[in-house]
Structure 1
Amino acid sequence: MIGAALVAKAAGAGARVIAGAIGRPVETVRGWLRRFGLRAEEIRVRFTVLLVDTGLDPVPPAETASLFADAVAAVFGARSAVASRWPGLGEVSPWRLACAVTGGSLLTPPRP
């Protein structure tokens, strides 16, 4: 659910529309989007580094109009890089990878 909300926001949808589409309270969705947005630059950098370090022929995602979308694209790019490096792992979603890489702290508030 959270991953779908982040992808929808990166595509330009608002919290109300996203909440309606995934059947979650708008306050919950806003919280997810806000926390991800606060850490977007950190997430973008971390997952771009993972992509470049693990990809067989890495191509970092092109910059978009928003840092939020850039961070989501970096997560998906890192997932593709990991899948190309270790195809035997099977199909791992970008959000399971994000959870593993961040130790489950993808949506925690940024550290001072």
Structure 2
Amino acid sequence: MVTVEVDLVRVESRLAAGELSCPSCPDGVLARWGFGRSRRVVGLEGPVRPRRSRCRGCAVTHVLLPVSLLLRRAYAAELVWAVLQARAAGVGHRRIAAAAGIPACTVRRWLRVIGRRVEAVRQWFIGVAVTAGVEVSIPPATGTAVGDVLAAVGAARAAMVSRFGPGRLVGAVTAVSVAVACSGARLLAPEWPPVSGWVGATPVAL
């Protein structure tokens, strides 16, 4: 799976031009290979049907997932981010769920996933910031675990904007797009980040 920008026309153009690299082999280039199944995502207009690709070198296939989505989640990344922001502000999961129109059990599950690995997630995004930026300032503690994660994502975003510009990578470089792209859309995956920690690379197709 490879994260790409939301602009489907640009994704198609980059595929046709051979500008998307394969994450499975060093010199591979991705080409068109059909589409994934269509599905509804809460928070997005219309059904989503991700483009599939196949490496011209190793023949491995990859789904091209836009940064508006998280892997295996039925809710838009913006909604997930809003939940995390509310939690960092001290709001309980039931109030967050009621305000967002999301089942309380779903919100609680998201928060538990982040909570179990909060320091590893924070360190991952600090690693992104240090790798991408120059003279990066490590954000101070915010007083909440989720707040510390959001601050680390903010530091990563600032470093990437400083180095590449506000729209160079996957469209507009927002905190949400950085959180999705630099986690390979696995921000809420229980097994992410890897136990080995920061490895100095992201699955973003630049």
Residue 98, structure 1, aligned to residue 176, structure 2: no
User: Which residue of 1 is the match for residue 144 of structure 2?
Assistant: 66
| Counterpart-to-counterpart distance in 1, 2:97 and 2:111 | 11
Once superposed, which parts of structure 1, at least 4 consecutive aligned residues long, lie more than 6 Å away?
none
SS at match of 2:91: coil
Deviates more, 1:36-45 or 1:65-74: 65-74
User: Which residue of 2 is the match for residue 84 of structure 1?
Assistant: 162
Q: 2:88, 2:146 within 8 Å by CA — same for their partners in 1?
A: yes
Amino acid at match of 1:98: A
| Counterpart-to-counterpart distance in 2, 1:39 and 1:106 | 10
Alpha-carbon deviation of 1:57? 3.0
Residue 9, structure 1, aligned to residue 87, structure 2: yes
- Counting strand residues as a fraction of each chain, which structure ranks higher? 2
Residue 19, structure 1, aligned to residue 97, structure 2: yes
- Counting helix residues as a fraction of each chain, which structure ranks higher? 1
| Counterpart-to-counterpart distance in 2, 1:91 and 1:57 | 23
Higher relative contact order (CA 8 A, sep 6+): 1
| Counterpart-to-counterpart distance in 2, 1:22 and 1:80 | 27
Q: 2:128, 2:182 within 8 Å by CA — same for their partners in 1?
A: no
**RMSD between aligned residues:** 1.7
Q: Runs of 5+ in structure 2 lacking a partner?
A: 1-78, 196-206
TM-score of the pair, normalised by structure 2: 0.51
SS at match of 1:102: coil
Q: 1:3, 1:95 within 8 Å by CA — same for their partners in 2?
A: yes
Say how many residue pairs are matched.
Answer: 112
